[in-house]
Structure 1
Amino acid sequence: MLPTDEYYILRLIDEGEHVHQDFKFEISDARKIAKSISAFSNTEGGRLLVGVKDNGKIAGVRSEEEIYMIEAAAKMYCTPEVNISNKIFKVQGKDILEVTIEESKNKPVYAIDMNNKAWAYVRIKDENILADTVFLNRWKYNKQDEKVIVTYSDREKHLLSILEKYGELTLNKCSKLSNIPRITTSRLLADFIRFGLVEQIFREHTFFFKLKEDTTP
């Protein structure tokens, strides 16, 4: 019978990579791992299994420096800082590091790149995806405690009717077809998503927007 720790990690590996889990063969760049931390903390939280190859094979953590780089990524290259927890498990004679990342209560969490630019990411299925302006607007509105009064003017009706007519559309297409400035369209779509009128879909590395089935303009 397998030791408890080994059974636990092997069971996680059997799940594969998904919205709450990512495998990392090694940690060689704190800024790169900050992207993963940003994505998990901006979504529903999750874990990194360090020392595991993409195919699930056990490789083991090579150096304690990998732990320091993960901590640096969370504290120095994520803004705001992200609280993470680390635990080492012995599996097949090798050390596997489990990094647990909680969902942030203060979204968005940005990752700082090599040019000191800040980018927010989200976790979709098994990928870390750069958040678009609609996501940024959604997070901005979620921080507002005051009650929101929904205006349903001709502009809002027009944009909803465009979505009804054409089905799934990108942000740029929504703006072009509705003749509403892109920045305004982004804010309106964030409002629509917030109030359950529209859903955001990620497909073919692109964000699309569509009316929810029970929505009529």
Structure 2
Amino acid sequence: MEPAKSVSLGSSLLVPSVQDLIKTQLGVVPSRYLRPDQDQPIVFDADVPIVDLEKLIDEATMDSELAVLHSACKDWGFFQLVNHGVSPALLENMKTQVQEFFNLPMEEKQKFWQSPGDVEGFGHLFVVSEEQKLDWADLFFLVTQPPDLRKPHLLPKLPLPFSQSTGPNGQSPKDETRGNEGHLLREHKAGNEDQLLPSVPGA
């Protein structure tokens, strides 16, 4: 049996959990989470761009929908995907499992703390200095594909049914879309797949 592959995705300094900070009943938000040098966000009246997967893989509409995708990535950095073939029930189930994970007692979540020099696990991503500004959020980051890149010390410890959804035999949104990717997506070789699960607790 071949040894498990090791791939470095970077490192991150360990910082306190936002959920823990809230429990201390802070009178003010710590300065590391404040960004006074940034302008207040402007709320636009425009709708979030929508990309239709069916149009994206249909040769008759592919070019026009690719233009929509290009514009969304260039101007917004994100988009809503529709007609992707994933059932609403599966999406709701995943959302419920993620929320239940973040609702675990802190002593349980500590089993998944990031290790020094690694970004996978529970914590923050790419914190490189003690003065760096932080997002008001806790994250759980996990490589899910290919299976030989999964961290064996993380996946088996995940609570059921969350571990079943992310494990080798679990059903994921990608499973429901397989076979619907069409010529366009088949041209691209499958790469690594990661799950980044955020939790933004109320201040």
- Interval containing the TM-score (normalised by the shorter chain): under 0.3
- The structure having more radius of gyration, on CA atoms, is 1
TM-score w.r.t. the length of structure 2 is 0.25
TM-score w.r.t. the length of structure 1 is 0.24
Higher strand share: 1
Greater relative contact order (Cα 8 A, min sep 6): structure 1 or 2?
2
